[in-house]
Amino acid sequence: MSKALTWAAFADREPELAAHGRRLLYPFGPAVGLGFLATTRGDGGPRVHPVCPAILGGGLYVFVIGHSPKRADLARDGRYALHFFPAAKDDESFYCAGPAREVSDPRARAAAVPGFAHAVRDDEALFELRLARALHTVWERPRTPETRPIYQRWQA
């Protein structure tokens, strides 16, 4: 886990994969990122929630509501997985996973706020999502008997 990278370091190492990720993170245009964040519940089971991540200043960030279960999950067990999959069809998707770290510096938090489309509330906590692995999937000939996934993988 110590080898997990910032988004910028990941993009330096895997520019093509990172370009796919950035494109799929912003399916509605550059203003609003959309993804599904998976965390680990207190009992060890998985939790999934839609979030609006953003790539800002070389990092991948997400705000989560301060008293939400997923914030408690990330505070207790920082392991996350993020899947960019907004559309009804799953012909293409991007997935990354690694450790999430809360940004406690108020100046860094304040600097990130303008990078998000929604009105960030005072009780939202900012997390940086570092990458330990990434996966881009494209389905060739989707919804036909000949369909097959084409994977592009990276692991720190």
In the complex, the residues that contact another protein under the rule CB under 8 A are: 28, 32, 34, 36, 38-40, 44-50, 52, 79-83, 85-90, 93, 95, 97, 143-145, 147
Amino acid (one-letter) located at 41 = R
| Identity of the residue, 47 or 101, whose beta carbon is nearer to another protein in the bound complex | 47
Distance in Å, CB of 108 to another protein, minimum: 25
The CA-based diameter of the chain, rounded to the nearest angstrom, is 53
| Identity of the residue, 65 or 110, whose beta carbon is nearer to another protein in the bound complex | 65
d(Cα 141, Cα 125) in Å, to the nearest integer?
Answer: 41
Alpha-carbon separation of residue 146 from 50, 87, 143 (angstroms): 31, 22, 8
| Identity of the residue, 16 or 90, whose beta carbon is nearer to another protein in the bound complex | 90
